[in-house]
């Protein structure tokens, strides 16, 4: 590495050994923030000129050079050298090549510590725009499927045992509410966590020039500068908030993925996933594998790992900046990239999935999903619930022994279970679902009400 590209050569007589250089360099990771780094420098240099810290002509020369470097990056004409330690070094080197001494003044009243803390916030803010839009498309796909399947009944499960029938719309809306909470967390990241600008904190203690921090904060779209210079360069809370939010989102998509894997199996047959989101087997010609759903299931591990990784890097660090913090971007970018891949794929998979109402209905009626409804019926006749539960349990056992459904019980069986003279209500899945009239339940009216509430909420996003 030539001494010219190092930002801190003066103090050192010998250069670093190659093994250290390779460990220390973050360019390969942080190069993707080139546009944010340039934007931060433009705001900083303009402020320096306004505050009389940098002569106007130097400022103009630097800003012209920054515009040129932007253009060079955008058109692939400038590729940082492997010897540029990080993106900040690369941009400053190139600006100085273009603007000479004026360029060498750009870093006045700034440290890479406050610079990098600012760049990542700008990067994340921009990434969130597309991610929130992708999340919206996924939720819209769920809502569209829910509208199509208000009258489709599917077994609801506990312990993965058929429990009670629910409307498929009700099941899909469960995910809509999970994702709505995920969105609220991401909006909180955007509107609160990302709102304070660290620029102007310097290396750790602040800056000894009469800078105007509010000016750079506003120019870069922040609400205000951070309050404490140490906190500004030492904290990565905004990143942690984002990683926490997407880890939870990942958990939700993982559960959805698992259900789509199960439901698309021959054993369930509840859904046919579109060819576009499945793959074949190189050996078994009949196979259609739900790869997208499986990957949705797996990516949660990665997102949770990214959150845990960042927090583990920050924990135990003494204030203020430590080089450990350079690792923050590894976790942040991995999560950003994972969400960018995952959410559109899940959205497309949901949109193109073909649910199978007949198979679902068969599954509802094959089990004893109306058993609780029969017990509820007895309760309405005045039975204590616990006794009703016992009697219906006996009835289910004798039906199961004969291999018949609750709709086929004989008067003798009713009598044997202590239910002589009882006329069981219709035991259809539809009647069972319709009985769940309390708020948040799966009766048609309640589901339509829930769907309208979800549409209203999502419509306001
Ligand atoms: N590449 C560094 C990072 O990503 C930039 C800050 C380095 N600061 C320093 N004093 N070495 O954290």
Q: What is the CATH number of the domain that holds 385?
A: 1.10.40.30
Phi, psi for 79 (deg, rounded to 5): -115, 120
Task: Print the SS3 string covering 179-237.
Answer: HHHHHHHHHHHHHHHCCEECCCCCCCCCCCCCCCHHHHHHHCCCCEECCCHHHHHHCCH
Beta bridge partners of 10: none
Instruction: Say whether both 267 and 178 belong to one domain.
Output: yes
Sequence-ordered list of residues with C-beta below 8 angstroms from that of 97, at least 6 positions apart, any chain: 103
d(CA 366, CA 40): 64
Ramachandran region of residue 440, left (φ > 0), alpha (ψ -120 to 50) or beta?
left
30 Cβ inside 6 Å of ligand 1: yes
Ligand 1 atom nearest to 30, measured from its CA: 4
Closest residue CA from atom 12 of ligand 1: 326
Instruction: Say whether both 165 and 144 belong to one domain.
Output: yes
Does any domain span residue 155? yes
326 Cβ inside 6 Å of ligand 1: yes
Instruction: Say whether both 294 and 392 belong to one domain.
Output: no
Instruction: Say whether both 121 and 253 belong to one domain.
Output: yes
Reported in sequence order, the residue ranges of 306-356 that DSSP labels E, i.e. its strands, are: 354-355
Ligand 1 atom nearest to 85, measured from its CA: 1
Instruction: Say whether both 181 and 238 belong to one domain.
Output: yes
Q: Smallest Cα–Cα separation from 93: which of 41, 48, 17? A: 41
What is the DSSP code (8-state) at residue 318? Answer: P
Phi, psi for 143 (deg, rounded to 5): -65, -40
Does any domain span residue 382? yes
What's the CATH code of the domain at 227? 1.20.200.10
Closest residue CA from atom 4 of ligand 1: 326
Two tokens at 286? Answer: 């009949």
Give the distance (Å) from ligand 1 centre to CA of residue 35.
Answer: 17
Beta bridge partners of 355: 271
119 Cβ inside 6 Å of ligand 1: no
Give burial (CB, 10 Å; 0-12/13-18/19+) of 51: middle
26 Cβ inside 6 Å of ligand 1: yes
Half-sphere exposure of 387 (CA within 13 A, CB side): 9
Q: Smallest Cα–Cα separation from 194: which of 257, 136, 129, 265? A: 129
Does any domain span residue 301? yes
Instruction: Say whether both 70 and 189 belong to one domain.
Output: no
Q: Smallest Cα–Cα separation from 427: which of 389, 367, 381, 373? A: 373
- The domain containing residue 37 runs over which residues? 9-108
Q: For a substitution probing ligand 1, which of 86, 236, 332 has the most ligand atoms within 8 Å of its CB?
A: 86
113 Cβ inside 6 Å of ligand 1: yes
Q: For a substitution probing ligand 1, which of 24, 323, 327 has the most ligand atoms within 8 Å of its CB?
A: 323
Closest residue CA from atom 5 of ligand 1: 112
Q: How many structural domains is the chain composed of?
A: 3
pLDDT in the model for residue 356? 98
Q: For a substitution probing ligand 1, which of 11, 32, 93, 112 has the most ligand atoms within 8 Å of its CB?
A: 112
pLDDT in the model for residue 203? 98
User: Of 82, 108, 134, which marks where a domain is finished?
Assistant: 108
d(CA 188, CA 195): 10
User: Of 81, 108, 135, which marks where a domain is finished?
Assistant: 108
Instruction: Say whether both 99 and 137 belong to one domain.
Output: no
Does any domain span residue 454? no
Ligand 1 atom nearest to 325, measured from its CA: 12
Residue with tokens 């809502």: 143
pLDDT in the model for residue 408? 83
Give the distance (Å) from ligand 1 centre to CA of residue 3.
Answer: 18
d(CA 109, CA 154): 64
CB 461 within 8 A of CB 136: yes
Ligand 1 atom nearest to 329, measured from its CA: 4
Active-site residues, by number, are 159, 281
Nearest 5°: the CA angle 369, 396, 159 is 50
The angle, 0 to 180 degrees and rounded to 10, between the axes of the packed helices 112-148 and 237-263 is 30
Instruction: Say whether both 333 and 377 belong to one domain.
Output: no
Ligand 1 atom nearest to 29, measured from its CA: 4
Give the distance (Å) from ligand 1 centre to CA of residue 70.
Answer: 21
Give the distance (Å) from ligand 1 centre to CA of residue 20.
Answer: 15
Long-range own/partner contacts, residues 182-185 (CB < 8 A, 24 or more apart): 182/135, 182/245, 182/246, 182/248, 182/249, 182/252, 183/132, 183/135, 183/136, 183/139, 183/461, 185/241, 185/244, 185/245, 185/248
What's this model's pTM, rounded to 2 decimal places? 0.94
Q: Smallest Cα–Cα separation from 266: which of 284, 289, 300, 234? A: 289
Does any domain span residue 213? no
Instruction: Say whether both 301 and 261 belong to one domain.
Output: yes
Does any domain span residue 4? no
Sequence-ordered list of residues with C-beta below 8 angstroms from that of 191, at least 6 positions apart, any chain: none
Does any domain span residue 214? no
CB 196 within 8 A of CB 224: yes
112 Cβ inside 6 Å of ligand 1: yes
CB 277 within 8 A of CB 352: yes
Give the distance (Å) from ligand 1 centre to CA of residue 235.
Answer: 14
Give the distance (Å) from ligand 1 centre to CA of residue 116.
Answer: 7
356 by DSSP, 3-state: which? Answer: coil
d(CA 451, CA 424): 32
Give the distance (Å) from ligand 1 centre to CA of residue 72.
Answer: 24
Closest residue CA from atom 11 of ligand 1: 323
pLDDT in the model for residue 295? 98
6 Cβ inside 6 Å of ligand 1: no
d(CA 259, CA 257): 5
Does any domain span residue 186? yes
What's the CATH code of the domain at 30? 1.10.275.10
Give the distance (Å) from ligand 1 centre to CA of residue 129.
Answer: 26
* pLDDT, block means (10 residues), the chain with 461 residues: 61 83 95 98 98 98 98 97 95 98 98 98 98 98 98 97 96 98 98 98 98 98 98 98 98 98 97 92 84 98 98 98 98 98 98 98 87 90 94 91 85 88 84 95 98 98 96
118 Cβ inside 6 Å of ligand 1: no
pLDDT in the model for residue 100? 98
Q: What is the dihedral of CA 426, 427, 429, 430, to 10 degrees?
A: 10
116 Cβ inside 6 Å of ligand 1: yes
Instruction: Say whether both 165 and 301 belong to one domain.
Output: yes
Instruction: Say whether both 247 and 319 belong to one domain.
Output: yes
CB 364 within 8 A of CB 270: no
442 Cβ inside 6 Å of ligand 1: no
pLDDT in the model for residue 5? 63
Instruction: Say whether both 281 and 417 belong to one domain.
Output: no
Give the distance (Å) from ligand 1 centre to CA of residue 40.
Answer: 15
Ramachandran region of residue 159, left (φ > 0), alpha (ψ -120 to 50) or beta?
left
User: Of 40, 74, 108, which marks where a domain is finished?
Assistant: 108
């Amino acid at each position: 590495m030539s001494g010219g590209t190092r930002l801190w050569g003066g103090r050192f007589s010998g250069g670093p050994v190659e093994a250290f250089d390779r460990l220390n360099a973050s360019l390969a990771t942080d190069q993707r923030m080139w546009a944010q780094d340039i934007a931060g420098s433009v705001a900083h240099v303009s402020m320096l000129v306004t505050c009389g810290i940098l002569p106007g002509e130097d400022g103009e020369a630097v800003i012209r050079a920054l515009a040129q470097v932007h253009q060079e990056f955008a058109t692939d004409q400038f590729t940082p050298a492997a010897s540029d330690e990080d993106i900040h070094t690369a941009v400053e080197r190139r600006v100085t090549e273009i603007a000479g001494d004026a360029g060498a003044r750009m870093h006045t009243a700034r440290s890479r510590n406050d610079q990098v803390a600012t760049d990542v916030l700008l990067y994340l803010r921009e990434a969130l725009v597309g991610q929130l839009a992708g999340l919206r498309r996924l939720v819209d796909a769920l809502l569209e499927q829910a509208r199509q399947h208000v009258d489709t009944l599917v077994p609801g499960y506990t312990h993965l045992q058929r429990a009670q029938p629910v409307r498929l719309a009700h099941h899909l809306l469960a995910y809509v509410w999970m994702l709505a909470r995920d969105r609220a967390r991401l909006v909180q990241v955007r509107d609160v966590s990302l709102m304070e600008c660290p620029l102007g904190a310097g290396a750790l203690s602040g800056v000894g020039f009469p800078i105007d921090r509010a000016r750079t904060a506003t120019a870069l779209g922040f609400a205000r500068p951070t309050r404490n210079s140490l906190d500004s360069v030492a904290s990565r809370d905004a990143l942690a908030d984002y990683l926490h939010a997407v880890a939870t989102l990942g958990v939700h998509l993982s559960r959805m993925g698992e259900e789509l894997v199960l439901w698309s199996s021959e054993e369930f047959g509840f859904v046919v996933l579109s060819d576009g989101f499945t793959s074949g087997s190189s050996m078994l010609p009949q196979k259609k594998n739900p790869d997208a759903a499986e990957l949705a299931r797996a990516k949660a591990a990665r997102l949770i790992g990214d959150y845990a990784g960042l927090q583990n890097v920050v924990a135990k660090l003494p204030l203020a900046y430590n080089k450990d913090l350079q690792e923050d971007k590894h976790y942040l970018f991995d999560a950003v990239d994972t969400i960018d891949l995952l959410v559109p794929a899940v959205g497309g998979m949901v949109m193109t999935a073909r649910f199978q109402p007949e198979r679902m209905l068969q599954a509802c009626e094959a089990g004893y999903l109306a058993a609780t409804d029969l017990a509820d019926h007895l309760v309405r006749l005045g039975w204590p619930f616990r006794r009703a539960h016992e009697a219906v349990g006996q009835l289910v056992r004798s039906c199961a022994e004969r291999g018949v459904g609750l709709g086929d019980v004989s008067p003798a069986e009713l009598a044997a279970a202590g239910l002589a003279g009882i006329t069981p209500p219709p035991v259809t899945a539809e009647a069972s679902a319709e009985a769940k009239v309390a708020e948040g339940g799966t009766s048609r009216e309640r589901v339509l009400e829930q769907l309208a509430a979800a549409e209203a909420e999502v419509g306001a996003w």
